Amino acid sequence: MLVLGALWLSLGSTGLASDTLPLAANDSAAVVGAPTPATTTAALRRTPTPADSAQGRPKVIELSDWYYRRLTIHRWVAYGTLPVFGAQWAAGQRLYDDSREAPTWAKTTHRVGATLLAGGFTVNTVTGLWNLWDSRSVEQGRVLRTIHGLSILVADGMFTYAGAKLSDEAEQSSAKRREHRTIALSAMALTTVSGVAMKLWNK
């Protein structure tokens, strides 16, 4: 009997130990935040490797010194067009009201202003398109630069049409004079808005 009792106790203690081991394992797995094999494998998969980091790094694009020299020239010429716009508006208004009877200062100012604008827009068209091409790989601000370039080309065409086509006809016809003024003022407004947009948002 003593032998059977000892055997029963040994079997019972073994059974209890085997019953408590799964519970202990389940309890440790149930602890909040405790890593499991599945979560550990997923975490390893999400860990970025040096190769991934290199692929995600933005590409560095260097612009030449001449790009910034042209940009400086472009900006200062653009600033210089603003007072010319003001003088052209004042002289043009007198010419619009008085036509051939307008004072000499208005006629002279308008001719000189038109020449200055033609030269300034030529310089800025060349420097602007050159820099637009050089910065074609720079993604930041590309849309704004493209819109600015296209709008200035449109203004170029408007000024050319108003000066080359309508300036002589405006002296003979009030309708052509009105058209000349409308196109010239619209080109000034387009140029100013486009330039201000570049100044504010092209960072």
Q: For residue 109, is it within any domain?
A: yes
Q: How many CB atoms lie within 10 A of CB 88?
A: 21
Count how many domains the chain has.
1
Q: How many CB atoms lie within 10 A of CB 158?
A: 19
Write down the pLDDT at residue 12. 45
Distance separating alpha carbons of residues 168 and 31, to the nearest angstrom: 90
pTM: 0.68
Q: For residue 39, is it within any domain?
A: no
Q: For residue 32, is it within any domain?
A: no
pLDDT digits (tens, 9 = 90+) for 85-144: 999 999 999 999 888 888 999 999 999 999 999 999 999 999 999 999 999 999 999 999
Residue whose structure tokens are 């000034």: 188
Q: Which domain holds residue 188?
A: 65-201
